Structure 1
Amino acid sequence: MAFFNRLSQSARNVAGTTVRVSTPIRHKASASAAAPKLVPDEYDGPLVKTQVPGPKTQELLQRMDNITRNTGTIQLFADYKASKGNFLVDVDGNRYLDCFNQISSVPLGYNHPALIQAVSSPDLATSMINRSALGVFPPGEYPGRMEEALLSIAPKGLECVQTMMCGSCSNENALKQTFLQYRTKARGGAMPTQEEYDSAMHNQLPGAPDLSILSFNGAFHGRTIGMLSLTHSKPIHKVDIPSLDWPASDFPALKYPLHQYEQENRVEEDRCLQMVRDKIAEYAAKGKPVAACIVEPVQAEGGDHHATPYFFIQLQKILKEAGAAFVVDEVQTGGGIAGTIWAHEQWNLPEAPDVVTFAKKLITGGYYYKPEFAPKLAYQVFNTWMGEPTKLIMLEAIVDTIKKDNLLEVVQNSGKIILSGLEELQAKYPQFLSRARGMGTFIAVDLSSPETAADIVTRGRKAGFILGTCGKQSLRLRPALIFQSQHAEMLLDELDHILSEL
């Protein structure tokens, strides 16, 4: 693994501010292997001109705080016109290698030519001006766009797809369909009775059935009221918000690298699977049967917890035996960052999950599902927008670029470089790093403490690198699909430098 040299780095002083200018020189082996840029006019590296946050950002932050009184999460104000490829530029002119990627939601980086071309089309302008309520007045081209943009990448075995606005509402409506299917099945396929219609209006049985959804400790499925009942990652998400009495099972706490701890990890996964069985039985006895289970391929917000294919195969089997739907939340892992379009492809399930939700890198929200989970009555799953037609115009260009530029291969290659590099750094700095893990470029490593994780993110930003955290003390990486080997080496070199200074 060849990192960048730091021999050519220098510091200079501008208007009393120390400016770090990085002009790294590659090792010869690395230089010869450098891939051509996927965004032709992309910057060569980070550039920090001011203190971070800079004066313009601080001024805008004060103005924003006067407006919202809710600015505690803002890190910088961006200049999106100047941003290119993997590099985000702020209003002070500082340039960052973005390894967190708007919380993993920008698939092709900033101002990708294919997307600029797509949004410059008259079709997009027409769609924006005449924003349609897709549930009642969709544009004539919408079915074709859904076929091209969504059905062309559908998970194997899932024939139906519904668009939504965001990840949380995708999960909400997907689970509504599992409730509808569960009750329809319980009635032998019959429609609701008049008694059920009447009692539903008063939130009472039998029209408002006492069903439950199983989730996992450490999970994150969104911030809407229903999804918060299934989210168990951070207290700040849930405190002061009423919650539904729904079961949560333990998610496996595995040792990494997985191939070195197969026996220990199998014991842990079997323990969690038994807990799933116990929770299903417990809630059935309480009169709150589990209608569905929702699970992330990797528990992202909770700390990038992984499980093996064995766990998910067995989980699907347990749910099938219990008559509960198997819902896979791919809001964060879907769209190629795992090295495959869908992370669950790597499990080799005997059959498709019942429902797969998505958002983030796929631009629009939504979910795929088996035909038997389709609503039986109009307006059971409905809202004004039911998605955003302009997003499918963009998604067509994204899907085409993924295929044309072999971006899944790019992700796989960069992921191997990052993960092996983190393992080297882990061996070099065992007092700070442990448990490097990932799939594709969906990667994390644990730090020695929450304070150390926060310090590394802060130091990285001051040096021109945007990083993220998750769980209690994990550093997480969520780059764009165009994050190449040269970007991976810039990142690893900077982490090496930061760790050497700690």
Structure 2
Amino acid sequence: MAFSLRTATRLQPALRIASMRSSRPAMRFMASQTSSKQATGAATASPTMSDAIEQPFFPDEPTGPMVRTAIPGPESKKAIAHLDQVFDTRSLNMMANYQNSFGNYLADLDGNVLLDVYAQIASIPVGYSNPSLLLAATSPDMASALINRPALGNFPQHDWAEILETGMLKVAPPGMNQVFTAQSGSDANELAYKAAFMWKRMQERGGDADFTAEEIASSMNNQTPGAPNMSILSFKTGFHGRLFGSLSTTRSKPIHKLDIPAFDWPQATFPMLKYPLEQHAEENAREEQRCLEEVESLLTGYHNKPAAVVVEPIQSEGGDNHATPAFFKGLREVTRKHNVLLIVDEVQTGVGATGKFWAHEHWNLQDPPDMVTFSKKAQTAGYYFGNPELKPNKPYRQFNTWM
């Protein structure tokens, strides 16, 4: 997806003109009819102010919702019944028709069109059938990326550095200049946790020392010292994913965790602020201080020592819970005091959702987080970091096929 983001950036101005000058029906088929040469040539065009006023960016976007049947309607019910024979449909909300979905509106098979404020669990940042992305899909870069998907750790393509520099790293959080890519938000957090554990053990060894024979042998039996008893501290009602490590830090809903073995990792209380904020300032400050003291107690006293603290800028899935910048500044101070990493989970809050590209930028930290994880609206996933010591000391320690 990084390839498509870079291509879309290059083609966006031209696409805006093309979409404005085309008729509404033709727009639906632009992607299939545009040749690679046209896409490349269009990238050199530039819009004018008069063009910008002519037509909306999404010429096919409905003017409002339209409900023609009960939801699900008869056609959707047929499709759901068919899908249920081969796929678990019990969490299904709506059977979508993406070919008829434009801008902020999601269509179903029965002609119903709804204003979508859910955005595919916060993962569609620029609307359905986005004209720039439709045009980008016709580019040689996109075709090559889809047909020749590389095992990035072993066979990155020749311009992978440029793709990272002009894509993910162009919007890197302050203080971060490196990225490790992943496949999903859960995966991004899982990899950040692994980086924290490897960093912590390197610190305990006094640097980049070779593994001992005992460490090597015991790791294969899931025993110490090769598989050390460390932990990640998370917060009650937080959500960080559904893989084994990330699920152990998820505390939002029992349905995610039931029947799944979990690591013995600590949890601290996230501040529960009272509103209106201006009427409870002193009380809320005491609540945040109490939570910070609890964090510090766990960092120093928990039997499986934390290598990192993971926190969401806004607890999203766990209930829309907020804290003030003062709390997060205190969290950065206490983690730094005890040589514990701070991981900020921006999977849900990142990419512009709060008025800044990264929600933690509102905290105005002088000392940035150690890692920032991302996914969803970014259309890719991974974690940012700046400290070169967070890069594992040997190859294949942080690795998967597609990275």
Structure 1: gaps spanning 5 or more residues? 1-35, 387-502
Where in structure 2 are the equivalents of 1:5-404 lying within 5 Å? 37-68=56-87, 70-189=88-207, 190-283=209-302, 286=303, 288-370=304-386, 371-386=388-403
- The alpha-carbon deviation at position 191 of structure 1 amounts to 3.0
Rounded to whole Å, the distance in 2 between the matches of 1:349 and 1:152 is 20
Rounded to whole Å, the distance in 2 between the matches of 1:334 and 1:258 is 24
Secondary structure class of the residue paired with 1:302? coil
Q: Deviations over 1:110-146 (max 9, x none)?
A: 0111111111111111111111101100111211011
Q: Deviations over 1:413-453 (max 9, x none)?
A: xxxxxxxxxxxxxxxxxxxxxxxxxxxxxxxxxxxxxxxxx
- The alpha-carbon deviation at position 51 of structure 1 amounts to 1.1
Rounded to whole Å, the distance in 1 between the matches of 2:288 and 2:218 is 41
Higher strand share: 1
- The alpha-carbon deviation at position 65 of structure 1 amounts to 1.6
Secondary structure class of the residue paired with 1:81? helix
Rounded to whole Å, the distance in 1 between the matches of 2:102 and 2:213 is 58
Rounded to whole Å, the distance in 1 between the matches of 2:315 and 2:359 is 12
Q: CA RMSD in A?
A: 1.5
- The alpha-carbon deviation at position 257 of structure 1 amounts to 3.6
Secondary structure class of the residue paired with 1:306? coil
Where in structure 2 are the equivalents of 1:407-446 lying within 5 Å? none
Q: Deviations over 1:372-405 (max 9, x none)?
A: 211111000001110xxxxxxxxxxxxxxxxxxx
Q: Deviations over 1:81-102 (max 9, x none)?
A: 1110000111111001000110
**What is the TM-score with the length of structure 2 in the denominator?**
0.84
The answer as to whether partners of 1:83 and 1:89 remain within 8 angstroms in 2 is yes
Rounded to whole Å, the distance in 1 between the matches of 2:210 and 2:192 is 20
Secondary structure class of the residue paired with 1:377? coil
- The alpha-carbon deviation at position 166 of structure 1 amounts to 0.5
- The alpha-carbon deviation at position 364 of structure 1 amounts to 0.3
Secondary structure class of the residue paired with 2:85? helix
The answer as to whether partners of 1:219 and 1:296 remain within 8 angstroms in 2 is yes
Secondary structure class of the residue paired with 1:305? coil
The answer as to whether partners of 1:214 and 1:247 remain within 8 angstroms in 2 is yes
Rounded to whole Å, the distance in 2 between the matches of 1:258 and 1:357 is 29
- The alpha-carbon deviation at position 37 of structure 1 amounts to 4.2
Secondary structure class of the residue paired with 2:86? helix
Aligned to 2:29: none
Counterpart residue type for residue 374 of structure 1: K
The count of corresponding residues between Structure 1 and Structure 2 is 349
Aligned to 2:19: none
Secondary structure class of the residue paired with 2:372? strand
Rounded to whole Å, the distance in 1 between the matches of 2:334 and 2:100 is 51
- The alpha-carbon deviation at position 322 of structure 1 amounts to 1.1
- The alpha-carbon deviation at position 38 of structure 1 amounts to 4.3
Counterpart residue type for residue 346 of structure 1: H
Counterpart residue type for residue 88 of structure 1: L
Rounded to whole Å, the distance in 1 between the matches of 2:345 and 2:188 is 9
Secondary structure class of the residue paired with 2:106? strand
Rounded to whole Å, the distance in 1 between the matches of 2:338 and 2:190 is 22
Rounded to whole Å, the distance in 2 between the matches of 1:117 and 1:337 is 25
**What is the TM-score with the length of structure 1 in the denominator?**
0.68
Secondary structure class of the residue paired with 2:366? coil
Rounded to whole Å, the distance in 2 between the matches of 1:259 and 1:117 is 48
Rounded to whole Å, the distance in 2 between the matches of 1:155 and 1:230 is 23
Counterpart residue type for residue 59 of structure 1: K
The answer as to whether partners of 1:219 and 1:231 remain within 8 angstroms in 2 is yes
Where in structure 2 are the equivalents of 1:456-467 lying within 5 Å? none
Rounded to whole Å, the distance in 2 between the matches of 1:325 and 1:339 is 26
The answer as to whether partners of 1:216 and 1:250 remain within 8 angstroms in 2 is yes
Rounded to whole Å, the distance in 1 between the matches of 2:155 and 2:347 is 27
Q: Deviations over 1:189-218 (max 9, x none)?
A: 123222211211111111111101100000
1:38/1:175 CA distance change after superposition, 3 Å: same
Secondary structure class of the residue paired with 1:320? helix
Moved over 3 A (4+): none
- The alpha-carbon deviation at position 231 of structure 1 amounts to 0.5
Counterpart residue type for residue 225 of structure 1: F
The answer as to whether partners of 1:359 and 1:366 remain within 8 angstroms in 2 is yes
Counterpart residue type for residue 218 of structure 2: S
**Which structure ranks higher in relative contact order (CA pairs < 8 Å, sequence separation ≥ 6)?**
1
The answer as to whether partners of 1:184 and 1:191 remain within 8 angstroms in 2 is no
Counterpart residue type for residue 249 of structure 2: L
